[in-house]
Amino acid sequence: MMRLVTLGQALLGHRCLWLSAVAPLRPEACGNGQYGQGSSPPSGSVVGSGGGQPTRFCPTASALRIVAWMCLATACSSGSKSDGPNGEEGTGGRPVASGGVTGGASTGGSDSGGTARSGGIGGGPTGGLATGGASAGGLATGGATTAGTGGSGGGTTGDGGTSGGTAGSGGTATGGGVPTGGAGTGGEVADSGGGEASTGGAGETGGEDSGGEGSGGEDSGGEDSGGQATGGAATGGAETGGTPPIVGATPPMGWNSWNAYGCNGLNESVVRSMADAFISTGMADVGYEYVNLDDCWMDGRDANGRLKWNTSTFPSGIPALAEYIHGLGLKIGIYETPNTQTCASIYGGYTPGVGSLGHETTDAATFAEWGIDYLKYDKCRGQLSAFEVMRDALRATGRPIFYSINPGDQGPYCTPTNCSIDLVNIANMWRIEFDISANWDSVIRLIDANKEEYVGAGPGHWNDPDMLEVGNGLNDTEGRAHFSMWAIMAAPLITGNDLTRMSAATLATLTNPDVIAVDQDPLGVQGRVVATPGNNLEVWSKEMSGANTRAVALFNRGAQNASITVQWSQIGLPAGTATVRDLWAQQDLGPFTDSYTASNVPTHSVVMLKIVSTP
């Protein structure tokens, strides 16, 4: 044994390669890289200065086991940190979100996707597109790849696209992106500091995910192997080892520039301040993640036909803005139209506003390259058939971009119950009526328009009654009612106010975790009217996850205070005792038998309840 030790010490400078002449070969994670022999990092990924090198090979012959372990101890030390822009030194370090660029592939526990953030209260997970061992590819270079080290082909997306790559070779991910994203779930993964990882097995390249099933078993000290910080993963769904992630598994939560700033007030400083406000107010902690630019960000096209941003209002550029937002653990959205002009150009004279008609492939690739996570595609006198064209262009980028469309223009309106195109299989979300305004009549109009459209709602595809006007002119009681009804309708919670100047009451409305949990419930059922106990009085019910669980809105639309009763039989619960919780008061009211009555409900208000039938 002493001779073997002496021999090992003498030859350690040759790392692992010298052993190839005297023992059988087996892949070992002895270097910085996570990829197999002769392979390269996935196309589009960003690795650290130590990442992406071919894996060295070490012997495991029993006669030389001691020398092999000494080799590993020295040689692998060069790859024990995540050298990329997001990684911290040392195995098991928590990465620093830094502009949304994924760090180098770690051989320890450092993840490669920044700080993970959950997908909202009660929502689906937002973990990275992991592939059994290594996390998904890079973000900032555009086109999120999910190849990595494993995956025997990508998971099939809901609409036929696939994401994943060549098994074991780290190939570039293809297809997918819009409906489900997702990475391959099979294949034997080249070791990266651990054992074999087959469909989320025991490999040790990543630890617990921020949601869904882990992407490679136990971690050697790190936490997530992907995550929302880079904006590269779909919200919701399970990681590898289960169903691929779904883009828009729960209704999106975020902010849009139009209601508060329109065309003239939109600029880089405003957008950055809204992203900062998500963090400072705690809104990000309850699920808000998308920071969306509406119309008027662009300045025509360059000589190659590529979109240009307005350099006066966005001097740093959209990619730099995306990097900043991703660095906060958030995501960025942008606006375009299926016409030659945007709506601001058509209706408001904003001449630099050019549409995507005829440029869909180029524009989708540009958005992916810039790091865009959400596209609002506004009809603006375009053709309904054009929405499918952009869907396909987004899929072709391989990046999971949430696809929100407005197929109604100024009428006639296109909804799940009355439309010539297949909304559910084209977009993640669609507007169902004309624009909202900051007044009660407008809120009521959109609630009524959405009543029968619940047939189209579900994970990955949502009805959109437009942005929130909480804090923009409604009084506080009306703001809570507005927010309550959007939540029970499983509508997007996209705010449209100035987040830097909102009142304490507005913030409390927008961040109530109990009400947000109703909207983000992973079952994805849109609530509906089940009773009208009086003039302008409505009882709404939404089936929730968990046995015999319902969210209930007792809605007083009228001008007089009134008492409203909900019967268990109206909401599909068995007769007998059920517990009732007031979600706005965040207070358990106790058990009630067969019904509950809210007394003296104020005008233009909602009493929001969670009712659970006890066994």
* pLDDT tens-digit map of 73-87: 333 333 333 333 333
- Judgement on whether residues 428 and 313 belong to the same structural domain of the protein: yes
At which of 497, 519, 541 does a domain end?
A: 519
- Judgement on whether residues 388 and 298 belong to the same structural domain of the protein: yes
Task: Determine the pLDDT at residue 411.
Answer: 78
The span from the CA of 394 to the CA of 399, in Å, is 7
The domain that holds 330 is classified in CATH as 3.20.20.70
Which is more confident, 528 or 7? 528
- Judgement on whether residues 447 and 556 belong to the same structural domain of the protein: no
Q: Which two tokens stand for residue 408?
A: 């109604």
- Antiparallel, parallel or unpaired: β 537-543 and 549-556: antiparallel
Per-residue pLDDT of 568-588, as tens digits, reads 999 999 999 999 999 999 999
CA angle 405, 408, 412 (to 5 degrees): 165
The span from the CA of 75 to the CA of 81, in Å, is 13
At which of 79, 110, 144 does a domain end?
A: 79
Task: Determine the pLDDT at residue 242.
Answer: 55
The answer to whether position 438 is within a domain reads yes
- Judgement on whether residues 544 and 406 belong to the same structural domain of the protein: no
- Judgement on whether residues 513 and 549 belong to the same structural domain of the protein: no
At which of 468, 497, 519 does a domain end?
A: 519
Q: What average pLDDT does the chain have? A: 73
The answer to whether position 334 is within a domain reads yes
Per-residue pLDDT of 418-472, as tens digits, reads 999 999 999 999 999 999 999 999 999 999 999 999 999 999 999 999 999 999 9
Q: Which two tokens stand for residue 588?
A: 């358990």
92-96, 289-293, 472-476, 499-503, range with the lowest pLDDT = 92-96
Question: Cis peptide before 352, with omega less than 30 degrees from 0?
Answer: no
The answer to whether position 575 is within a domain reads yes
- Summarize the confidence of residues 233-247 as an average pLDDT: 54
590 close to 559: Cβ distance less than 8 angstroms:
no
The number of distinct structural domains making up the chain is 3
> In this model, does residue 229 exceed pLDDT 50?
no
The answer to whether position 159 is within a domain reads no
The domain that holds 546 is classified in CATH as 2.60.40.1180
- Judgement on whether residues 391 and 470 belong to the same structural domain of the protein: yes
Task: Determine the pLDDT at residue 26.
Answer: 35
Indicate the DSSP class of residue 260: H
Q: What percent of the chain has pLDDT over 70?
A: 60
Alpha helices in 230-342 (DSSP H): 258-261, 268-280, 318-327
Phi-psi region at 537: left, alpha or beta (left = phi > 0; alpha = psi -120 to 50): beta
- Judgement on whether residues 569 and 481 belong to the same structural domain of the protein: no
Interacting residues of 463 by C-beta distance below 8 A, sequence separation 6+:
415, 416, 429, 430, 432, 450, 453, 454, 456, 457, 489, 490, 491, 526
The answer to whether position 160 is within a domain reads no
Per-residue pLDDT of 114-141, as tens digits, reads 333 333 333 333 333 333 333 333 333 3
Per-residue pLDDT of 324-350, as tens digits, reads 999 999 999 999 999 999 999 999 999
Task: Determine the pLDDT at residue 19.
Answer: 32
Write phi, then psi, for 517 (nearest 5 degrees). -60, -30
- Judgement on whether residues 265 and 325 belong to the same structural domain of the protein: yes
Task: Determine the pLDDT at residue 405.
Answer: 98
Interacting residues of 540 by C-beta distance below 8 A, sequence separation 6+:
485, 488, 527, 528, 529, 530, 552, 553, 555
The answer to whether position 363 is within a domain reads yes
The answer to whether position 593 is within a domain reads yes
Per-residue pLDDT of 147-200, as tens digits, reads 333 333 333 333 333 333 333 333 333 333 343 333 333 333 333 333 333 333
CB atoms within 10 A of CB 418: 11
**Residues annotated catalytic, as ranges:** 378, 435
- Judgement on whether residues 419 and 543 belong to the same structural domain of the protein: no
The span from the CA of 126 to the CA of 539, in Å, is 33
> In this model, does residue 598 exceed pLDDT 90?
yes
> In this model, does residue 106 exceed pLDDT 80?
no
- Summarize the confidence of residues 101-107 as an average pLDDT: 34
Task: Determine the pLDDT at residue 113.
Answer: 35
The span from the CA of 194 to the CA of 180, in Å, is 29
Which is more confident, 38 or 258? 258
The CA–CA distances, whole Å, from 459 to 124, 183, 234, 249, 250 equal 9, 18, 12, 4, 6
The CA–CA distances, whole Å, from 312 to 258, 267, 268, 317 equal 18, 8, 9, 10
- Judgement on whether residues 306 and 286 belong to the same structural domain of the protein: yes
The answer to whether position 199 is within a domain reads no
- Judgement on whether residues 383 and 477 belong to the same structural domain of the protein: yes
- Judgement on whether residues 545 and 577 belong to the same structural domain of the protein: yes
Indicate the DSSP class of residue 573: P
The span from the CA of 153 to the CA of 182, in Å, is 11
Domain region containing 462: 253-519
Q: How confident is the model at residue 244 (pLDDT cuts 50, 70, 90)?
A: low
> In this model, does residue 38 exceed pLDDT 50?
no
Q: Which two tokens stand for residue 73?
A: 């101890």
50 close to 6: Cβ distance less than 8 angstroms:
no
Per-residue pLDDT of 285-306, as tens digits, reads 999 999 999 999 999 999 999 9
Q: How confident is the model at residue 615 (pLDDT cuts 50, 70, 90)?
A: confident
Task: Determine the pLDDT at residue 245.
Answer: 86
Q: How confident is the model at residue 283 (pLDDT cuts 50, 70, 90)?
A: very high
Q: What percent of the chain has pLDDT over 90?
A: 59
Which is more confident, 598 or 143? 598
